[in-house]
Structure 1
């Protein structure tokens, strides 16, 4: 077995682990800081909306020796608006100029052909802003329906606290991804929208894996006095940690190829819109499933009276064990702590009450329960 596999097996068995839940306030603070940075970037810089949303013209040139930078300069001089130029291959160029009317697009196309030394006219395709508005509205509708279905499914398959935590993690991932787009200045296109919708599923994947492990580990949790809910949640994170890392890395590698090699080295800028959203969303989704979603579930569950009572019993039993008391005395002390807080039936369900006898009057170790 590989070293990573050995570590994964030890994490799964609980032999080693990291206290993710215990340090959850640190993760919350980091996430809040990142989210605020993303929101500020979005508010200050805004999104660089593509031509599909703003409207304009797209010019496709035939084979030419003009460079991308030179073509961009020609387009900006001819139109008076910012231009985006992409190399399509076979020495052809795609030139985007926003906010052009039909008449203006014709004049700009003629001027571009003259400046670039192209015989005839350059093919122009007009894009109306209403089409982009329809895409945006459909994207928002799809996002809302998706989140609603996610909440309903998780509430049925697990419980409402997990559904709420998963929803918060999703909003966290989307906010960070959109904020990164604003800070980097990449163009937002329909491909970006597709990428954002795609990462929602990836974001939920690791979260559901941890939730499933947590659900399995907390069956009949009140019938034991060894672990609190938060400790079992922490064991669930550690038990699935290597799996989450492996799946995230495997998913990020091809996306990184699209973003850094395809968009960066090869100059295929049209890949940037979808690859950046996938890259940031996948990384944020893996982070939120470990550091946001599961700690939030633990926080919500620890507020329940039964979980509070369980925690008191567990801590009382550990304190008694540390003082060298018997197991019966430790259980009785835990039951007394629970009774003090007036939590009905929780101790009985846990099977920890040994009778109304006080400490020092427990039954012999070889005796029978009366």
Structure 2
């Protein structure tokens, strides 16, 4: 099968996944942490099973039930997100939890003001945009402008797939989420550049009667083993971290896992076919 000639099937598959993710994003949105929304996050690991209704009852007695969200974690972990609480109010709430529900180990108790949360969200978006612009400039200098456009289009695909699945799975979006996105972008562009480099090399060794789609397909196949092996190595490490790593990093690792798989897919099956289509739309003789 010629990957370039079969590119429409890969385009449709990507579009299907992105549409599902965007629908989830439109209906559910993202599960923002207090890093972006502002407020107080309290995470407790109780020594016995806990009924969420009892937790909400304590919050109601404290007068903050209307502004609070309660979430169950792994085991007997309870996560409470509420409006920004003073240190005194937070201490009173923790004391009430121990008196009315039982003893626990405090895992997290952090507060972020709404202004700081908004600033973090804006800076996160700006960092991703700057990364894209710099990559276009770098790839344009090393290859050509259409290669840069194709690479960024593949990266946008990776971001949309990752964000959509994060929304669908309800994973927490915090400061580590931005670190994960930038890691995914860097990992994916590395694979894409390897393929583009082989395309440029093979174009210099163009065989008589060989067209661009054949050159791109041959380049992809020559780098396929390297791309798959590299991705599998990372996937195995991430899978091990999901199984034996701590609960607090699980969302971060899952986001990386989604992005690495999406990045490998786009580098092999989307970036170079997109470059071919951009060349065709420009009217090049290919």
TM-score range, shorter chain: 0.7 to 0.9
Which residue matches 1:83?
70
Q: 1:65 aligns with which of 43, 47, 66?
A: 47
Cα deviation code 1:214-258 (max 9, x no counterpart): 01111274xx53200111001000111111110010011111222
- Residues 1:28 and 1:87: Cα distance change in structure 2 (over 3 Å): closer
- Structure-2 separation of matches of 1:139 and 1:51: 14
8 Å contact from structure 2 (residues 58, 100) kept in 1? no
Shift of 1:187: 1.2
2:12 maps to 1:49: no
Pair member with larger Rg: 1
8 Å contact from structure 1 (residues 109, 124) kept in 2? no
Q: Which runs of 5+ in 1 are unaligned?
A: 1-17, 309-370
Shift of 1:306: 5.2
Which residue matches 1:281?
259
Shift of 1:291: 1.4
2:81 maps to 1:97: yes
Q: Which runs of 5+ in 2 are unaligned?
A: 60-64
Which residue matches 1:234?
217
Q: How does 1:1-370 map to 2 (within 5 A)?
A: 18-59=1-42, 65-67=47-49, 70=50, 72-79=52-59, 80=65, 81-84=68-71, 95-102=79-86, 104-118=89-103, 124-219=109-204, 221=206, 225-259=208-242, 261-262=243-244, 268-303=246-281, 307-308=285-286
Cα deviation code 1:122-162 (max 9, x no counterpart): 99543323222222122111111111000000001001111
Aligned residue for 1:302, secondary structure, equals helix
Under a length normalisation based on structure 2, what TM-score does the superposition of the two structures give? 0.87
The higher relative CO (CA closer than 8 Å, separation ≥ 6) is in 2
Shift of 1:51: 2.3
8 Å contact from structure 1 (residues 230, 302) kept in 2? no
Runs of 4+ in 1 over 4 A off after TM superposition: 85-88, 121-124, 303-306
Cα deviation code 1:82-118 (max 9, x no counterpart): 2245579xx9x67432224326534422321211345
- Structure-2 separation of matches of 1:201 and 1:227: 32
- Residues 1:60 and 1:176: Cα distance change in structure 2 (over 3 Å): closer
Cα deviation code 1:252-304 (max 9, x no counterpart): 11112223x146xxxx3312221121001000001001111100111222345
Aligned residue for 1:240, secondary structure, equals helix
8 Å contact from structure 1 (residues 75, 95) kept in 2? no
Aligned residue for 1:57, secondary structure, equals strand
- Residues 1:32 and 1:87: Cα distance change in structure 2 (over 3 Å): closer
Aligned residue for 1:218, secondary structure, equals helix
8 Å contact from structure 2 (residues 231, 260) kept in 1? yes
Cα deviation code 1:318-363 (max 9, x no counterpart): xxxxxxxxxxxxxxxxxxxxxxxxxxxxxxxxxxxxxxxxxxxxxx
RMSD of aligned residue pairs (Cα, Å): 2.7
